[in-house]
């Protein structure tokens, strides 16, 4: 019983969560009512019943539909504050939050509305709960390179409100190389770089994220296990992997958590972390991910400390700020 208590209370960082994926069905309906949006679901229960996914794309379709209720700055603020309260309760001392501006700007929501709502929540949460929270702007990889460049231009007036950029959405058929030039531009601007790779896609996409995009962390990366040379490279460079166990289970990457490869990745010397990805859709916040993964795989206190330490060391916080946690 002491390992679950350790998992719940140990200080940890969350490095892979999409704020739009924290929208609980109850909040989706409340925002729909507030904004006069009609949903294609009769009730909270009917919406939640639709959360039966077979792969990444089956999830993304419903995740983008849920985000359609976000229209006003206060909607983004309320969504982020609800997540940050949960994260602080889970003893998250630092969170680096993805947001998908294109999901909103394509619907006519101004970039300033999105960023100001989220950024104000990060500041208020820090003041209220002491949690350190920053934003990472994520490009949608099913859209074009040109659309990513336009999104970057639209966001640059708000440069001080985000620390880095990421790459998410449909992985298969959208290799990292498609975004090589926009990532190079972001690097020149001094932004931190991360990308989803090796969630469903092959090890070649992880190599592409490392070599073509020059990322500092790999989001997911679990398919790296298929390539022994890649495994050796990731271990030797201590490249952080932001792994999301309940996401992998719900999207049928590892349909049974007992088969999840995180214990093997950790044992092979990789710099693995545990994260929630889209907690409202995948059945749990970050502590649920730790608790269910440890219950299923039998890992213990040694792995718990290692995972928490990995998460704190893999943040983009300044060394001075990190010194408060590590
Ligand atoms: N993968 C890709 N795109 C996403 C995800 C994910 O797990 N969650 C939200 N957007
Ligand atoms: Zn993700």
Q: Could you say which ligand is closest to the alpha carbon of residue 242?
A: 2
What is the 323 CA–ligand 1 centroid distance (Å)?
Answer: 31
Inside any domain, residue 213: yes
Ligand 1 within 6 A of CB of 169: yes
Assign 191 to helix, strand or coil: coil
Which of 15, 16, 18 is the pocket-test mutation for ligand 1 (most atoms within 8 Å of CB)? 18
Mean pLDDT, the chain, integer: 98
Q: From its phi and psi, is residue 32 left (phi > 0), alpha (psi between -120 and 50) or beta? A: alpha
21 C-beta closer than 6 A to ligand 1: yes
199 lines ligand 1 (CB under 6 A): yes
**pTM given for the model:** 0.98
Would you say the CB of residue 196 lies under 6 angstroms from ligand 1?
A: yes
323 within a domain of the structure (yes/no): no
Q: Categorize the per-residue pLDDT at 317 as very low, low, confident or very high, splitting at 50, 70 and 90.
A: very high
Q: Does the beta carbon of 20 lie inside 6 Å of ligand 1?
A: no
Please give the structure tokens belonging to residue 75. 């909607």
Tell me, in angstroms, the distance from the centre of ligand 1 to residue 276's CA: 11
Atom of ligand 1 nearest to the CA of 251: 7
pLDDT-derived band at 325 (thresholds 50, 70, 90) equals confident
| Cα-based distances in Å from 164 to 5, 17, 160, 179, 265 | 33, 14, 10, 15, 26
Q: Which CATH number goes with the domain that contains 68?
A: 3.20.20.140
Q: Does 200 contact ligand 1 (Cβ within 6 A)? A: no
d(CA 266, CA 300) in angstroms, rounded, equals 12
How far, in Å, from the CA of 149 to the mean position of ligand 2? 21
Give a yes or no: residue 157 inside a domain.
Answer: yes
Helix H or strand E segment including 143: none
Instruction: Tell me how far CA of residue 109 lies from CA of 39, 44, 200, in angstroms.
Output: 18, 25, 31
177 assigned to some structural domain: yes
Is the C-alpha dihedral spanning 41, 31, 95, 148 positive or negative? Answer: positive
The residue nearest atom 2 of ligand 1, judged by CA position, is 169
Backbone phi, psi, residue 96, to 5°:
-120, 105
* DSSP assignment of 229-278: HHHHHHHHHT-EEEE-HHHHHHTTSSSSGGG-SHHHHHHTT-EEEE--BS
Residue 324 lies in a domain: no
Q: Would you place residue 326 in the very low, low, confident or very high pLDDT band (cuts 50, 70, 90)?
A: confident
Please confirm, yes or no, whether 199 is among the known catalytic residues. Answer: yes
- β-strands 12-18, 192-197: how paired? unpaired
Angstrom distance (rounded) from CA 261 to CA 321: 32
Point out the ligand 1 atom lying closest to the alpha carbon of residue 199. Answer: 1
User: Which residues does 298 contact at the CB level (< 8 Å), separation at least 6?
Assistant: none
Q: What is the pLDDT of residues 7-46, one digit of tens each?
A: 999 999 999 999 999 999 999 999 999 999 999 999 999 9
Measure 170 CA to ligand 1 centroid, in angstroms: 8
**Cβ atoms 258, 299 nearer than 8 A:** no
Task: Report how many domains make up the chain.
Answer: 1
State whether the beta carbon of 97 lies less than 6 angstroms from ligand 1.
no
Query: In this structure, which long-range contacts are made by residues 282-287, counting pairs with CB atoms below 8 Å and at least 24 apart in sequence?
Result: 282/21, 282/244, 282/246, 282/247, 282/249, 282/250, 282/251, 283/246, 283/250, 284/246, 285/86, 285/87, 285/90, 286/12, 286/14, 286/17, 286/87, 286/90, 286/92, 287/7, 287/8, 287/90, 287/91
Ligand nearest the Cα of residue 100 is 1
Bridge partners, 84 (sequence order): none
Domain that holds residue 232: 2-314
248 CA distance to ligand 2 centroid (A)? 10
- Please report how many Cα atoms fall inside a 13 Å half-sphere around the Cα of residue 213, on the Cβ side: 29
Task: State the closest ligand 1 atom to the C-alpha of 100, by its place in the atom list counted from 1.
Answer: 10
Percent of the chain with pLDDT over 90: 99
Residue 1 has pLDDT above 90, yes or no: no
3-state secondary structure of 189: coil
Q: What's the confidence (pLDDT) of residue 25? A: 98
Query: 287-309 pLDDT, tens per residue?
Result: 999 999 999 999 999 999 999 99
Give pLDDT, residue 35.
98
Residue 199 Rama label (left phi>0; alpha psi -120 to 50; beta): alpha
pLDDT at 263: 98
| From 73, 171, 199, 200, active-site residue | 199
Gyration radius of the chain's alpha carbons: 18
Q: Which atom of ligand 1 is least distant from the CA of 63?
A: 9
For residue 168, report the distance from its CA to the centre of ligand 2, in Å.
Answer: 6
| Assigned domain for 321 exists | no
């Amino acid at each position: 019983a002491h390992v679950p208590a350790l998992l719940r209370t140990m200080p940890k960082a969350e490095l892979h969560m999409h704020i739009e994926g924290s929208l609980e069905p109850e909040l989706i309906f409340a925002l729909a009512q507030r904004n006069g949006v009609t949903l294609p679901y009769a009730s909270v229960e009917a919406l939640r019943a639709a959360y039966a996914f077979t792969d990444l794309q089956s999830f993304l379709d419903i995740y983008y539909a849920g985000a359609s209720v976000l229209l006003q700055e206060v909607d983004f603020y309320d969504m982020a504050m609800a997540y940050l309260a949960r994260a602080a309760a889970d003893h998250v001392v630092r969170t680096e939050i993805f947001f998908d501006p294109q999901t909103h700007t394509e619907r006519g929501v101004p970039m300033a509305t999105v960023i100001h709502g989220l950024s104000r929540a990060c500041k208020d949460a820090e003041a209220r709960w002491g949690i350190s929270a920053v934003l990472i702007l994520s490009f949608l990889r099913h859209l074009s390179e040109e659309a990513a460049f336009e999104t970057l231009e639209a966001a640059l007036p708000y440069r001080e409100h985000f620390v880095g950029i990421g790459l998410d959405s449909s992985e298969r058929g959208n290799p990292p190389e498609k975004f090589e030039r926009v990532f190079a531009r972001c690097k020149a601007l001094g932004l931190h770089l991360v990308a989803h790779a090796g969630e469903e896609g092959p090890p070649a996409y992880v190599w592409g994220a490392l070599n073509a995009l020059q990322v500092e962390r790999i989001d997911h990366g679990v398919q790296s296990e298929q390539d022994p040379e890649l495994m050796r490279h990731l271990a030797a460079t201590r490249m952080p992997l932001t792994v999301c166990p309940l996401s992998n289970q719900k999207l049928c990457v590892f349909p049974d958590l007992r088969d999840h490869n995180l214990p093997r990745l950790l044992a092979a010397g990789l710099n693995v972390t545990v994260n929630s990805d889209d907690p409202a859709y995948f059945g749990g916040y970050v502590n649920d991910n730790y608790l269910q993964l440890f219950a299923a795989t039998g890992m213990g206190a040694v792995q718990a400390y290692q995972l928490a330490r990995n998460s704190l060391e893999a943040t983009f916080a300044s060394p001075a700020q990190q010194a408060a946690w590590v």
